[in-house]
Structure 1
Amino acid sequence: MRLRGVRKSQNVEDRRGRGGGRGLGLGGVGLLVVLAIGYFAGIDMTPLLENATAPQQSSASRELSDEEQQAGAFSAAVLGTTEQVWDRVFQEQLGQVYQPPVLVLFSGVTQSPCGGASGATGPFYCPADEKAYLDTDFFATMARQLQAGGDFAAAYVIAHEVAHHVQNELGILGEVNRVRQRVSEVEANALTVRLELQADCLSGVWARNVDGLLEPGDMEEALNAARMIGDDHLQARAGRVPQPHTFTHGTSAQRAGWFKRGYDSGEIRVCDTFGASRL
């Protein structure tokens, strides 16, 4: 992805390097992959981690590594592209004004109004404060452990969380959350799948509108990332027979398919997963 000269967003809150965080006892990407699989597959990985980690309190601030500084600059640039795209798309397709989210970068653990965030939660969006949360170590997890490397795959992660903010701006996220509280767990999971696939589709809309920044292979990186974090793939990777009633993000084919649908059209209207008879 060509990001040289792209405006970096100012809506970034960088909490990395601050004191007071709690680091994972084992540290490193090897542990994060276990946590990431648990998050995306909806699997309780606690038994695998008992006695393997010892949370460590750290009160000292530290300098960010070169890799962390690069990840921060990359994230700010990608966030800047989402602001430009959704400003234009909201105006042209909806006649509305887009209010962008804040991206919180953290390392290890942090706090949000939606609860504590750590490598165990993976990237997520909190509608309570309209912020997306990202431990930039997750980029390494994707590349080294989930076989979903590449700069555009990493950009897709940010675009997906911003897409949840788009859903929040449109009132979709709040309505789905209200319905989920009134239905069974299986029904709630099914609604969550449609919500996540819609975010994948909206990520595709973003990708279509930054087409001038794409390089050869970028689209395949994004589609591969979508496939690698499909519920069926991650449950199988964790040694389980895929259980569709537990899916919360969609299958590999569904995630890649909806991303491509958004990319092919570039239109928000094609992302109506809730009105689709088949996903």
Structure 2
Amino acid sequence: MLWKDRRQSGNVEDRRGQSPRMPGGFGRGGRPIQIPLGRGVGGGGISGIVILVVIFFALRACGIDPLQILEGGPIGGGSNVSVDRAPTGQPTDEEAQFVSVVLAETEDVWNGIFQAEGQTYREPSMVLFSNQVQSACGFASSASGPFYCPGDSKVYIDLGFFRELSQKFGASGDFAQAYVVAHEVGHHVQNLIGVLPEFNRQRQRMSQTEANQMSTRVELQADCFAGIWAHFTAQKGLLEDGDIEEALNAAHQIGDDTLQRRTQGYVVPESFNHGTSEQRATWFSNGFRNGRLADCDTFNNPV
């Protein structure tokens, strides 16, 4: 990806080297939404979320603005952030600069998409941390992998994850890393359009099997939204040869079936909560192909 000398996001909060406050339990935002090295979103009726997404895509098809209907006011903590930065106002190490540029590129894309709907995109923040972090969703360690917390509208990443992604899981390349960031930002988009709030409400009444099935659809939609971002990034001429292949390989390497086969030697399909390797690559490709939200309806199409 051609990222050097491009704008870095002003929404990066660098907490690396800081000791987090010990948690007092989960915040009101619910559990973090995580990349699959951590546990998936758990919890409890599918019908409500399916109806929500049916309405969302039906209204779009009719030219009616669904975002105003679904948002229902601000989502998340919404407080001023104290940001630790280099004197220039941006991180100085290359890994942090890269994810800051990727975040800025997602801001450009999603601001444009939301403006086309007559809406304002509320940009998420990205928190860089090392080892452990406290979020509005609770206390997390690096072992959880990158995650999005709907309680404070922040993406949390320990950059050491990218080395593990490359060395342990065979998903190398800068665009594999960009895919991870874009996936987590995809969860933020879901938060804004009402998908995550509805899932958080419904999952308390779901069986574990139902929750896993719905979690898979939520995760695959975030993959598809990452593909939408890649579509518009390609239109800017920022992609290099092999970038999409890097993203597809990353999607494959972190599929539930591939991870289970690697870690335990067999797969348990009923425990899947992020999607198979094939599903994750397919839905990323769906978003990348045309860059349309309508191509990301994982709730009313076979996954």
User: TM-score, normalization: structure 2?
Assistant: 0.76
In the alignment, the residues of structure 1 paired with residue 263 and residue 97 of structure 2 have an alpha-carbon distance, to the nearest angstrom, of 33
Q: Secondary structure at the match of 2:245?
A: helix
Q: Could you tell me which residue of structure 1 aligns to residue 8 of structure 2?
A: 8
Alignment equivalent of 1:225, drawn from 228, 238, 250? 250
Q: Secondary structure at the match of 1:95?
A: coil
| Divergent runs of 4+, >3 A | 19-22
Q: Within 5 Å, give how 1:80-229 maps onto structure 2.
A: 80-92=104-116, 94-211=117-234, 212-229=237-254
In the alignment, the residues of structure 2 paired with residue 148 and residue 191 of structure 1 have an alpha-carbon distance, to the nearest angstrom, of 26
Q: Using CA pairs under 8 Å that are at least 6 residues apart, name the structure with larger relative contact order, 1 or 2.
A: 2
In the alignment, the residues of structure 2 paired with residue 230 and residue 90 of structure 1 have an alpha-carbon distance, to the nearest angstrom, of 30
Partner amino acid, structure 2, of 1:39: G
The Cα offsets for residues 81-104 of structure 1, whole Å up to 9 and x where unpaired, read as 000000011122x33211110000
Give RMSD over aligned pairs.
2.0
In the alignment, the residues of structure 2 paired with residue 171 and residue 80 of structure 1 have an alpha-carbon distance, to the nearest angstrom, of 23
Q: Secondary structure at the match of 1:120?
A: helix
Q: Secondary structure at the match of 1:152?
A: helix
Evaluate the alpha carbon distance shift between residue 20 and residue 189 of structure 1 in structure 2; reply closer, same or farther with a 3 A threshold: closer
In the alignment, the residues of structure 1 paired with residue 156 and residue 295 of structure 2 have an alpha-carbon distance, to the nearest angstrom, of 27
Gaps of 5+ in 2: 23-34, 42-85
Confirm or deny: 8 A CA contact 2:37 2:145 kept in the other structure.
no
Confirm or deny: 8 A CA contact 1:103 1:131 kept in the other structure.
yes
Q: Within 5 Å, give how 1:27-42 maps onto structure 2.
A: 39=38
Confirm or deny: 8 A CA contact 2:191 2:197 kept in the other structure.
yes
Partner amino acid, structure 1, of 2:227: G
In the alignment, the residues of structure 2 paired with residue 263 and residue 72 of structure 1 have an alpha-carbon distance, to the nearest angstrom, of 25
Confirm or deny: 8 A CA contact 2:129 2:156 kept in the other structure.
yes
User: TM-score, normalization: structure 1?
Assistant: 0.82
In the alignment, the residues of structure 2 paired with residue 20 and residue 204 of structure 1 have an alpha-carbon distance, to the nearest angstrom, of 33
Q: Identity percentage over the alignment?
A: 51
